[in-house]
Amino acid sequence: MILKMNDKFVKPFIADHEYENIQPMVNVADRMLREQNGPGNDYLGWMTLPSDYDKEEFARIKDAAAKIQKNCDVFIVLGIGGSYLGSRAVIEFLKSQRYNVLKKDTPDIYFSGCNISPADMNELLELCEGKDVSINVISKSGTTTEPAVAFRVFRNLLEEKYGVDGARDHIFITTDRSRGTLKQFADQAGYETFVVPDDVGGRFSVLTAVGLLPIAVAGISIDELMQGADAARGDYINPSLAKNDCYRYAVTRIILYRKGKSTEILVNYENYATMFNEWWKQLYGESEGKDNRGIYPSSVIFSTDLHSLGQYIQEGRRNLFETVVTVNEGGSSLLIPDDPHNIDGLNFLSGMDLDYVNKTAMQGTLFAHMDGGVPNIVLELKDRTAFSLGYLIYFFELSCAMSGYLLGVNPFNQPGVESYKKNMFALLGKPGYEDRRAALEARM
Ligand code: PA5
């Protein structure tokens, strides 16, 4: 079994009949997803993606990754939201948060165009001095300001380094098949392009070229990632909550939400999961947070955050529940050394594996938080491989869609993301936004 939901630490908060009561709603939502007749039904391509993907493009992704690995020291991904979080999450989860400083035969990978910070961009430009650089600009809409501005900056850098013709070998574009400024620009300039399928939204796009090209550049098997996702697709076909942990997770969240548990904290005990937590937050936050409802997604890395947010979780406002992701097999092993003098009094730990101590911290925390009134859903992942991670990604995508439908929202749109953009354009003087600018200025 690749993934198991352990509900021991949530059982005191939910009775069995509550799952039985909601099963008919799950059946309806499952049919809406499979028959593609629910809200946002134009964006369900991710459901069949793990087996039904463009094999020709998949091969081109591998070729481009090999070329990038050969031609450059530094590879920069320019994208924001769903256009970078997935690839960064996978690279860090399977390699390390410190991927760039590891001994390796693949390029350093940086992410830019995911903020508007001049300090961040200047630092990265400096890092590129004297290095061979390639970039992958990723934007489904092709119009998002952050990556578009970063593209201007890094295109200048590459054209200065290699000339306009030479730069072409160092620029890769991932965008819509036919629409958008970026696609037009790429076609005119002759850059190699990859496609974000029409029916896959940004936060569901990690298993398209959006995520796969950077992941392949990092030397991770994208075949195994897809195979893992496909295995999850097959395992979660039956909507029965007795047989489907993915839907059971979705339903558990919704039952807890209806009992006033409006904040979910995703918990991991390994630093390598930090960006995975960020990917998950976008997936759930953008999918559910609308129409004045939705579970607020947050995250922690324990035991680090037990010494910052731990107090609040144990004794603060009781509107929380936690979802703990733990990896069962193949943890990194480090034995705690013995000290003949035992000055620190820690010899009871001598010879113990740090992985065991970490897992014991988790057990202790699960009991403490449950006793403190915080339900804990535990998701046990078999191991830290591309296959299992692909499985986990699909698990969260499908459960997110189910949760959204059970909440009664359209999980596949993000109308709220537009508001800040319109205000920013107006205040920066973009043509066409004059009235909005005047209205904003009047309120300042
Ligand atoms: O999930 C989404 O659709 C968004 O978060 C987008 O990924 C994000 O806004 C970036 O958009 P784009 O890829 O069009 O530049």
Q: Return the closest-CA partner of residue 366 out of 336, 401, 324, 332.
A: 324
| Gap between the Cα atoms of 158 and 152, Å rounded | 10
**Taking the chain, what is the end-to-end CA distance rounded to the nearest angstrom?**
57
Instruction: State the burial class of residue 206 (Cβ atoms within 10 Å of its Cβ: 0-12, 13-18, 19+).
Output: buried
H/E stretch holding 183: helix 181-189
443 has pLDDT over 90: yes
Query: What pLDDT was estimated at residue 244?
Result: 98
| Gap between the Cα atoms of 365 and 111, Å rounded | 34
Q: Which of 17, 55, 103, 307 is catalytic?
A: 307
Instruction: For the chain, give the mean pLDDT.
Output: 97
| Gap between the Cα atoms of 376 and 444, Å rounded | 45
Give the length of the chain: 444
331 has pLDDT over 90: no
> Long-range contacts of range 420-427, CB-CB < 8 Å, 24 or more positions apart?
421/145, 424/145, 425/145
Question: What band does 330 get if pLDDT is binned at 50, 70 and 90?
Answer: confident
As a whole-number percent, the residues of the chain with pLDDT over 70 amount to 100
| φ, ψ (nearest 5 deg) of residue 214 | -60, -35
For a mutational test of ligand 1's pocket, the pick from 417, 420, 422, i.e. the residue with the most ligand atoms closer than 8 A to its C-beta, is: 417
Coil vs helix vs strand at 379: strand
Question: What band does 142 get if pLDDT is binned at 50, 70 and 90?
Answer: confident
78 has pLDDT over 90: yes
Do 313 and 322 meet the contact criterion of CB atoms below 8 Å apart? yes
Q: What mean pLDDT comes out for the span 5-26?
A: 98
Question: What band does 418 get if pLDDT is binned at 50, 70 and 90?
Answer: confident
Question: What band does 141 get if pLDDT is binned at 50, 70 and 90?
Answer: confident
Atom of ligand 1 nearest to the CA of 417: 9
Do 397 and 46 meet the contact criterion of CB atoms below 8 Å apart? yes
120 has pLDDT over 90: yes
413 close to ligand 1 (CB < 6 Angstrom)? no
Q: Return the closest-CA partner of residue 410 out of 284, 287, 242.
A: 287
User: Within a 13 Å sphere around the CA of 416, how many CA atoms are in the beta-carbon half?
Assistant: 12
Q: What mean pLDDT comes out for the span 241-258?
A: 98
Query: What pLDDT was estimated at residue 84?
Result: 98
86 close to ligand 1 (CB < 6 Angstrom)? no
59 has pLDDT over 90: yes
144 close to ligand 1 (CB < 6 Angstrom)? yes
| Gap between the Cα atoms of 82 and 280, Å rounded | 10
